[in-house]
Amino acid sequence: MRLDDKVAIVTGAAMGIGAGIAERFVQAGAAVVVFDINDEGACQLARSLSQEGRALVIHGDVACEDDVQSAVARTVQQFGALDILVNNAGIEGPGQVVDYSSGDWDRVLGVNLKGCFLFSKYAIPHMRRRGGAIVNISSVHAFVSYVGNAAYDASKSGIIGLTRALALEYGHDKIRVNAICPGYISTPMTEQWLAIQPDPAATLKQVLSFHPLGRIGTPRDVADAALFLASDAAAFISGTYLVVDGGMTAVGH
């Protein structure tokens, strides 16, 4: 599974799953654009990646159309092509519906779902030149829900629908579009969630009990799945999703 001579944009790549994917893609031979609103984290990652291959930091908000359009144009100007897009950027927005503000709802849907739409909209015209792959990072929250996650659940379910639509509309351009649905992954977001629990140790023990494999995932677990879907090893796979959750949803969680 190599990505030699490929150019990829990874959104939300400053940390967590996005950083894992960017690192894995560089190791596989791709030039990678690290797109994030977190300048410090993005620059730190890019410095480490530049020791192994080509990496470029672009600051921006995935929910801002001007930022997205500019990032895609700069990528093509810098590297001469765009072959792979990983729509990873995402935020949580805990809160039950009747207590939720419309502004908070718009922000979660804007980053998690509209961001996928905007980057796809501006990347696809360049991918048409020689085909390409889009990997959208959804979540097991597309299928299972917990109290207080309506906006997040809705956004991640929407990504699955968008993935199917894009695969249908642009398959004739040899653009494959798939999604990954991670479960519990060891990321700063997960650590922050655990930290605010009344008993973090007990909560972690309960979470581990959900997983037949006996552990939660790592960014590398998701990155390997993204590499597979972005590579020629998945040349006949499009319009579907891959669940990366250690078997959690198989037991009803």
Q: How confident is the model at residue 253 (pLDDT cuts 50, 70, 90)?
A: low
Average pLDDT over the chain, rounded to an integer: 95
Reported as a single tens digit per residue, the pLDDT across 22-48 is 999 999 999 999 999 999 999 999 988
Q: Give the domain 7-248 fold.
A: Rossmann fold (3.40.50)
Q: Is residue 152 among the annotated active site residues?
A: yes
- d(C-alpha 215, C-alpha 183), whole Å: 11
Token output for 79? 């590297």
SS3 250: helix
Reported as a single tens digit per residue, the pLDDT across 142-186 is 999 888 899 999 999 999 999 999 999 999 999 999 999 999 999
Where b means 16+ CB within 10 Å and e means fewer, 49-58 reads beeebbbbbb
Q: 244 and 45 in contact (C-beta within 8 Å)?
A: no
- d(C-alpha 160, C-alpha 170), whole Å: 16
Q: Which of 152, 170, 184, 241 is catalytic?
A: 152
- d(C-alpha 44, C-alpha 33), whole Å: 13
- d(C-alpha 92, C-alpha 107), whole Å: 10
Reported as a single tens digit per residue, the pLDDT across 59-92 is 999 999 999 999 999 999 999 999 999 999 999 8
